[in-house]
Amino acid sequence: MSAPRQITWNGWHVPFIAPWSHETPRAGTIVRASRGAGIAYADELDVVDRRNGTLWVRWSALRGAGRPHLGGVHPLRQRQAMSHMLCQVCAASTYGDAFSRWGGRHLFLVRADQGQEIRDGETTATPPICEPCAAESVRACPELGKGYTAALVERPQPWGVAGIPYNPRTLAPAPAPKTRDGLTFVNYEDPRLPWTLAARDVVTLLGCTPVDLDRLAAHGVTV
């Protein structure tokens, strides 16, 4: 698969996972699945609406149309980046040269207001990033400007999804309170999974080594 085209906005690369103003959620009518144990769309198309049995939100895909929402996340491109370990900004594979140079590890960069390090076993919905894009992101992204932390990760493993759980009795959606996106992290073993409308792919980060981005850029390796 060739990497998608790079789009710039005000001189910065627009992240692959950022949604554009012409891309919108497409509401579907949520019903009880015919087998009873979970939610489904009334007009569900199994091939596109589910991933590994879990129901996913519907979004149009018109990357590059309108204006980018730089702090946002397009759920289906997030999933594509996470499940294939693509850089969240340029969408290049993070199994490239740097992966070999770093001893078979992926770079993850997350917001950290207090400067706290990425812990082993931490779960995240933020896909990996390549080193040049990480260097640009910490300069361009106002959110990361408040503080960030980076780690090289040996084994990012599938963990679950982030989404909106529905009440099994009433089918009322229950967005998480006090969160910006209203999403709840739901593990693949969690009984709420069949009742969850997924919007992010979530991995757990195993084998984490904190890394200084400047040193990584200068030396290509960490210690």
Binding site for Zn ion (CB under 5 A): 87, 89-90, 130, 133
Would you state the structure tokens that stand for residue 53, as one six-digit string?
């049995």
Query: How near is the Cβ of 94 to Zn ion at its closest, in Å?
Result: 8
Least distance (Å) between residue 16 CB and Zn ion: 8
**Quick one: 78 or 196, whose CB is closer to Zn ion?**
78
- Residue 134 CB, shortest distance to Zn ion, in Å, is 8
- The C-alpha torsion from 104 through 138 and 204 to 115, rounded to 10°, is 110
Which residues of the chain form beta strands (DSSP E)?
8-9, 12-13, 30-32, 39-41, 50-51, 54-55, 106-111, 122-124, 148-165, 184-187, 196-210
**C-beta separation of 9 from 71 below 8 A:** no
Closer to Zn ion by CB, 99 or 166: give it: 99
Closer residue to Zn ion in complex, CB, 4/182: 4
Q: Which letter does DSSP use for residue 172 in this model? A: -
How far apart are CB 87 and Zn ion at their closest, in Å? 3
- Residue with smaller CB distance to Zn ion, 53 or 96: 96
